[in-house]
Chains A and B, each alone.
Chain A
Amino acid sequence: MDNIAGQNKGGKLAVNITVIILVLLWLLPTIGLFVSSFRDRDQISNSGWWQAPFAVDLNFRARVAADDARQEGDIFVVEGNVFADPSLSGRFPDAEGVVAAYGTRAVAPDEFAPGEVSELRTGGTVVVNHDGTYRVESPEEIARGPTLYFEARTPPRFTLANYETVLRADGMDRAFINTLTVTIPATIIPILIAAFAAYALAWMDFPGRGLLIAAVVGLLVVPLQLALVPLLSLHTNIGIGQSFLGIWLAHTGFGLPLAVYLLRNYMVGLPRDIIESAKVDGATDFQIFVRIILPLSFPALASFAIFQFLWTWNDLLVAKVFLPSGAESQVMTVKIADDLLGSRGGDWGILATAAFVSIAVPLVVFFTMQRYLVRGLLAGSVK
């Protein structure tokens, strides 16, 4: 009853429709990418992904087989079928299809309707019928068969070929492993360091505690850009340079403020009684932390782990600066942004597939652990 439009049927319908439109707007671009990644390369560039379930008109070329030429009276004739061309066997295995239009020049592959007779540049005439059969007539002997261009309807084709190309030839498999290599240590290491610090900030009394918490809150918003130049030169000076070790350290440092902040907020809320009775029973701070605080803080640890995982997996900036730019250490985001977008700029199937490979793991993590992610977000911003 407190809903904006919860009071009448019309209002309810309006709410439903609005939400459906919003959800579609949010979902459609991703679906487009997903569908495109499974489509045939030629079909992608000839019809939009929203037409994926329908047949597509594609252009092909076939060479007239001059060997079959025979003489009929005083003219030379070649007959055959465009779909039987050996180069099209992958596309039309049964050598059957429907010609929508044909032409004799590459620039105008749909110049003539099927059945229409047209002049050949080399002299003579040609006709291509709906079923693909053609007949070339020439007053002179046909030494070299002309090339015929035609447009044919192809059924919708979904393949895994893009995935094969991306993973094998384009080196995305390597980039995937590199991403994993960067992500896992960069997720695990900050957690432990942050957990101890968060415990100290939440449950230990010492002078300057408030100041330190304020400092962590302040560091939470320091732009990463500031860190790039000084840290890269620091890494170079101490011999780490651009390397995996460097990026693990960098991600650890950049992830710590959020980790300390989230974990402290959570630990402060743990019941005081448990901790005090443990102290009365003679437990040391170290024991309290390991035996009581850590197990109880599992939800907060999990939500930070998910944040840090998503952040490091999806990061482009830190990887560009702290990792060497060679192919053997590129992570997926760098690979896509610097390599594939440049060299495969117009190859939409490859781009879609590469993007989908890179977002698949975060999506799985997201949907399986959404509960923890939401909890972490809430701990971080609402009290």
Chain B
Amino acid sequence: MSPVIQGILTIIIGVGGCVGYFYFSNMLLDKVIFPAKGPNTGRNINRANQVRPWLFLFPAMFALGLYLAYPVVGSFWRSLFDRSGANFIGLGNYAALFAEGSFRTAVLNNLLWVLFVPAMATFLGLLVAQLTDRLSWGNIAKSLIFMPMAISFVGASLIWKFVYSANPDIGIINSIRDSMGMTVLDPLQIRFWNNFLLMFILVWIQTGFAMVILSAALRGIPEETIEAAIIDGANPFQVFFKIKVPQIMGTIVVVWTTITILVLKVFDIVYTMTGGNFGTHILPSYMMTYMFRDDGRATAVAFVIMLLVLPVMIWNIRQARNEMR
């Protein structure tokens, strides 16, 4: 069966199945199990209303449990076994990983990514949001800076290959070096600094995201606070750093953490640009070197990523609970 027909069938079955499930399970509940008639009408209606939320929630909870909650446990369990999956080796995979020099490099690089990308993207996003705020063509500028959000990491990597290429007729950097009489070099092979070249690709993608959210937050600041500051003689920089930034601090933190989470998922850029060579591996790309070869090691790397995400996750949950109160 051709995948296209299969796809159309899946849409029909999927959508039809969902609608059917919700419709018939409701009918079953109201008409058969707890019918709103007879001697127990009142009690039946109440009971039906107690069950109904779970009816609505079941498909989503089931999928979430199977595809996101179970893997956390499943991955951890698998990481305690060796390559074949038959022998329990405790934390052997983790010990072996930390003994590998390339794994330690990946961890250090990943920490660099987590520090640099969110900071840079949030800073640039805030800068653009502020600068374009009162510009007549501000919306066009924002739209263009937002555009990389739509581009895949693979596409973005290819775009930046045309900047970083070692060939002076392809790469802009080397073309400039060439015209200034400097020797041509491959920027992606300069150890340590090549990491920042890769990080900048993600900054290029994420700045638009930060800008959109921070720009909305800046617009939400009450005018009076700013006017009062200006009347008191604050200069524009003081207005920005002492009046505006403190008021949108909450949003800045949200943007920062969202980008941090993303950084810990992205393997595409390293995979496409260097394949992890020249000391550029990060944990997600390092995991892919074990994927399909040694599931024990692969899940161990994945669980290390999970440990890095954990603080943000806890913070997010607490934040959400505070908001609901």
- Does B71 lie within 8 Å of A230, measured CB to CB? yes
With A23-B141, A337-B154, A374-B212 known as contacts, the answer to whether A225 contacts B64 (CB < 8 A) is no
B291 within 8 A of A: yes
Nearest A residue to B221 via CB reads A2
Pairs A–B under 8 Å by Cβ, sample size 18: A6-B134, A22-B128, A28-B172, A30-B151, A189-B18, A194-B60, A196-B57, A210-B321, A214-B317, A215-B69, A222-B72, A222-B309, A225-B302, A229-B295, A285-B26, A358-B152, A365-B150, A381-B254
- Total of A-B residue pairs, C-beta within 8 Å: 350
A192 within 8 A of B: yes
Residue total for B at the interface (Cβ-Cβ under 8 A):
122
- Does A316 lie within 8 Å of B23, measured CB to CB? no
- Does A27 lie within 8 Å of B144, measured CB to CB? yes
- Does A316 lie within 8 Å of B169, measured CB to CB? no
- Does A227 lie within 8 Å of B209, measured CB to CB? no
Determine the main DSSP class of B at the interface with A: helix
Q: Annotate B129-142 by CB proximity to A: 1 below 8 A, 0 otherwise.
A: 01111110010010
Nearest A residue to B60 via CB reads A197
Chain B stretch 211-237: residues in CB contact (< 8 A) with chain A: 212-213, 216-217, 220, 223, 226-227, 230, 236-237
Determine the main DSSP class of A at the interface with B: helix
- Does A201 lie within 8 Å of B57, measured CB to CB? yes
A193 touches which of B59, B172, B220, B284 (Cβ 8 Å): B59
Q: What's the Cα separation between A321 and B268 when bound, in Å?
A: 13
A286 within 8 A of B: yes
Q: Hey, which chain A residues are within 8 Å of B7, CB to CB?
A: 180-182, 184-185, 244
Q: What's the Cα separation between A216 and B265 when bound, in Å?
A: 18
Contact surface of A with B, Cβ cutoff 8 Å? 1-7, 11, 15-16, 18-19, 22-23, 26-30, 32-33, 36, 44-50, 177-178, 180-182, 184-185, 188-189, 192-194, 196-197, 199-201, 204-206, 209-210, 212-231, 233-234, 244-245, 248-250, 252-254, 256-257, 260, 284-286, 289, 310, 313-317, 320-321, 329, 333, 336-337, 341, 348, 351-352, 354-355, 358-359, 362-363, 365-367, 370, 373-374, 377-378, 381-383
B306 touches which of A11, A178, A222 (Cβ 8 Å): A222
Q: Hey, which chain A residues are within 8 Å of B49, CB to CB?
A: 285
With A225-B287, A226-B71 known as contacts, the answer to whether A26 contacts B204 (CB < 8 A) is yes
With A2-B230, A359-B151 known as contacts, the answer to whether A16 contacts B135 (CB < 8 A) is yes
B15 within 8 A of A: yes
Nearest B residue to A196 via CB reads B56
Nearest B residue to A381 via CB reads B254
- Does A313 lie within 8 Å of B152, measured CB to CB? yes
With A15-B131, A189-B11, A381-B255 known as contacts, the answer to whether A226 contacts B305 (CB < 8 A) is yes
Q: Hey, which chain B residues are within 8 Å of A217, CB to CB?
A: 316-317, 320
Q: Apart from A19-B141, A200-B52, list 11 A-B contacts with CB within 8 A.
A: A22-B141, A26-B204, A27-B147, A204-B52, A227-B75, A229-B298, A229-B299, A321-B291, A359-B151, A367-B147, A378-B213
